[in-house]
Chain A
Amino acid sequence: MVLWAEVLTSIVKFLIFPGIVFSFVVGLFFEGIDRKISAHMQHRIGPPIWQPFLDVGKLFTKEDITPSNAEGWLFNFAPYLGFGAIITVMLMLPVYAAQPAFSAAADLIVIIYLLNIPALAIMLAGVSSSSSFGTVGTERYVVQLFAFELPFIIASLTVAAQANWTLSLEGIVAYQQANGWLLWELPLAAAAILLVAPGKLLKTPFDIPEAETEIVYGPLTEYSGPKLAVFNVMENIKILAVAGFITALFLGGPTAHVIAGVQIPAIVDFLIKTIAILILITLIRTVTARLRIHQALKFYWGFVAIIALINLVYVMVI
């Protein structure tokens, strides 16, 4: 009996919450909120908040074309590779409580690596499509990946160092519930990771690989129809995953509150914090222009990595 219940709970967690359905719905709503707020910042009304659902639905009705010179199996496999990886990340983040849905291997380092697999999937998509736009986009994405990974890893290790070297997100959330948010204790690392977030999510000023005014759509130029829809959904779930990761590391993760006698579940707290991070990313994306790839590299290695390193040295020495 107990085994049956456990298997059923696992299937529900994987398929519905916080697995595929939850990530899909909330991720697409995040894109809708991002576009709506960006539009109001530009003094116009934007599309309605549910527009990304209509976009994905439309893409599923379009024809699926594979260029004849493309590497067939890799071209077709790349979207699903990225999608699977990002759903796995969502299953390993603390979303509704301090424990993630599947906590067997939910390690800080595993999540950092898994968050790179969608990027890898886009890079493989770029080189396996036979267009030169794809190749250029992939080259730029490789350089950008080198650029932002360094401060990202330094900032994550700073958090682990502060929390007595626990590497599980559960332990980091528990440390913050005892000692307050790490945002106040490690401000430089928090600033570093908030500057890495637009780079990871390919938002202006770091949307260099998919620079639509320069190289059509970068690595995803030759994709159409359902595969492009899967890439689109993957990108949006990545916003939720990165914001959720930053919440777990610096903003205390999901915590349940009791306000005026009403029990507010931890998931509401999680959504409010991730939407706050989303609004910050939207603000940065609305007011800046795109950088060139060598400027992005110089910025990440020259400035952001240095402030993260200062914080790491401070934590380890003091």
Chain B
Amino acid sequence: MPKLIPDVLKNLFSKPFTLKYPFEKREPPENFRGKPKVDREKCVSCGLCERICPPGAITLDDEEKPVFDLGICIYCAECVDACPVEAIEKTKEYELGVYDRSKAISK
């Protein structure tokens, strides 16, 4: 006889482990690598983030400040480590779906 039966009966009468996602969300842990965000005041336009980005998601706009293409970004946070003045921070946002590709940028 399977030894699973006591476990199964215990599960039947306890609260399920499922998280009902859009209605109940879980807080991401510390050091979670979400959307990268740049503080334009602190940025000194050195270009190190553009050079180090592995897939090449960072470009510098007309004011020489970085613009992130969130479709290409792999959320590795190398730009955060590379910035000498700590102008880029990694946020905890992960719900980044859009209907229009041109809106998937972070300035």
B16 contact set on A, CB distance < 8 A? 39-40, 43-45
State how many residues of chain A have any CB contact under 8 Å with chain B. 12
Chain B, Cβ-Cβ closest to A39 = B16
User: CA separation between A287 and B11, bound complex, in Å?
Assistant: 12
B2 contact set on A, CB distance < 8 A? 287-288
A104-124 CB contacts (< 8 Å) to partner B? none
User: CA separation between A41 and B9, bound complex, in Å?
Assistant: 7
Q: Indicate which residue in A37, A43, A286, A288 contacts B17 across the interface (CB closer than 8 Å).
A: A43
B18 contact set on A, CB distance < 8 A? 44-45
User: CA separation between A37 and B9, bound complex, in Å?
Assistant: 11
Chain A, Cβ-Cβ closest to B5 = A287
B15 nearest CB across to chain A (Å): 9
Q: Does B102 contact A (CB under 8 A)?
A: no
Q: Does A283 contact B (CB under 8 A)?
A: yes
Contact call B4/A287, Cβ cutoff below 8 A: yes
User: CA separation between A44 and B17, bound complex, in Å?
Assistant: 6
A114 nearest CB across to chain B (Å): 34
Q: Does A42 contact B (CB under 8 A)?
A: yes
For B8, B9, B14, B20, the residue with the greatest tally of chain A CB atoms inside 10 Å of its CB is B8
- B-facing mask of A36-53, CB < 8 A → 1, else 0? 010111111100000000
Q: Indicate which residue in A44, A45, A286 contacts B8 across the interface (CB closer than 8 Å).
A: A286
A42 contact set on B, CB distance < 8 A? 8, 11
Q: Does B98 contact A (CB under 8 A)?
A: no
User: CA separation between A308 and B16, bound complex, in Å?
Assistant: 40
Q: Does B12 contact A (CB under 8 A)?
A: yes
A44 contact set on B, CB distance < 8 A? 16-18
Given A44-B17, A45-B18: A287 and B12 interface contact (C-beta under 8 Å) = no
User: CA separation between A286 and B14, bound complex, in Å?
Assistant: 17
Contact call B17/A283, Cβ cutoff below 8 A: no
Interface residues of A (CB under 8 A from B): 37, 39-45, 283, 286-288
Interface residues of B (CB under 8 A from A): 2, 4-5, 8-9, 11-12, 14, 16-18, 20
CB<8 Å pairs between A and B, sample of 6: A41-B8, A41-B9, A42-B8, A45-B16, A45-B18, A288-B2
